[in-house]
Structure 1
Amino acid sequence: MLPEPPPPELGAVLFDMDGTVVDTEGLWRRACAAVAAELGLRPGEVDPEHVHGRPAEHTAAHLQRPGVPLGWISERLTGEFARLIALGVTPLPGALALLDGLASAGVPTALVTASSRRIVEPVLRTVGAERFRLVVAAEDAPRGKPAPDPYLLAAAGLGLDPAVCVAVEDSPVGLASALAAGCRAVAVAGARAVPYGVLSVNSLEKIDVTLLRRLVAGEISIG
Structure 2
Amino acid sequence: MTSIDTTTPALTVTGDHGLQAVLLDMDGTLVDTEDFWWQAEASLLAELGHQLDESHRRHVVGGPMTRVVDYLIAETGVELTPAELSGRINARFVELLDGGAPLMPGAAELLGLLREHAIPTALVSASHRRIIDLVLRNLGDHPFAFSVAGDEVARTKPHPDPYLAAVARFGAEPGRCVVIEDAPLGVLAGEAAGCPVIAVPSVAPIEPGPGRTLLSSLAELDLDLLRSVVAARV
Q: Are 2:217 and 1:203 aligned? A: yes
2:195 is matched with 183
In the TM superposition, residue 49 of structure 1 has moved relative to its aligned partner by 4.1
Say which SS state the counterpart of residue 139 (structure 1) adopts.
Answer: helix
The reply to whether residue 106 of structure 1 matches residue 115 of structure 2 is no
Corresponding residue SS for 2:179:
strand
Per mean C-alpha deviation after superposition, the further-off stretch among 188-197 and 174-183 is 188-197
Out of 2, 9, 24, the residue aligned to residue 33 of structure 2 is: 24
> Match for residue 58 of structure 1?
67
Asked if structure 1 preserves the Cα contact closer than 8 Å seen for 2:22 and 2:178, the reply is yes
TM-score, normalised via structure 1 length = 0.88
Provide the rounded CA distance (Å) in 2 between the counterparts of 1:186 and 1:214: 11
Q: Distance in 2 between matches of 1:84 and 1:66?
A: 22
Q: State the shift of 1:40 in Å.
A: 2.6
In the alignment, which residue of structure 2 is the partner of 1:173? 185
Map residues 54-133 of structure 1 onto 2, 5 A cutoff: 54-64=63-73, 65=77, 67-128=79-140, 130-133=142-145
Deviation string for 1:131-154 (max 9, x for gaps)? 201200111111111111111111
Q: Matched residues in 2 for 1:92 and 1:110: separation?
A: 17
Aligned-pair identity in percent equals 41
* 1:36 corresponding residue in structure 2: 45
Aligned equivalents of 1:149 and 1:35: distance in 2? 30
Question: CA shift at 1:203, angstroms?
Answer: 0.8
Q: Superposition RMSD on alpha carbons, in Å? A: 2.0
Deviation at 1:47, TM superposition (A): 2.7
Aligned to 2:4: none
Which residue identity does 1:201 align to in structure 2? L
2:167 matched residue in structure 1: 155
Q: Return the match for 1:213 from 227, 231, 234.
A: 227
Report the more deviating stretch, 71-80 or 83-92. 83-92
Which consecutive unaligned segments of at least 5 residues does structure 2 have?
1-15
Letter in 2 for 1:168: I
Specify the code of the residue in structure 2 equivalent to 1:196.
Answer: G
Amino acid at match of 1:167: V
> Cα 1:34–1:123, aligned 2, differ >3 Å: closer, same or farther?
same
Amino acid at match of 1:194: E
Q: 1:95 to 1:45 in 2, by over 3 A?
A: closer
CA distance in 2, matches of 1:106, 1:14: 14
May I ask how many residue pairs the two structures share in their alignment? 213
Residue number in structure 2 paired with 1:3? none
Give the gaps of 5 or more residues in structure 1. Answer: 1-6
Asked if 2 retains the 8 angstrom alpha-carbon contact of 1:55 and 1:114, the reply is yes
Distance 1:129 1:60 in 2: 33
**Which residue of 1 is the match for residue 148 of structure 2?**
136
Q: Structure 1 residue 68: deviation in Å? A: 1.9
SS at the partner of 1:133? strand
- The aligned residue for residue 4 of structure 1 is none
Corresponding residue of 2:8: none
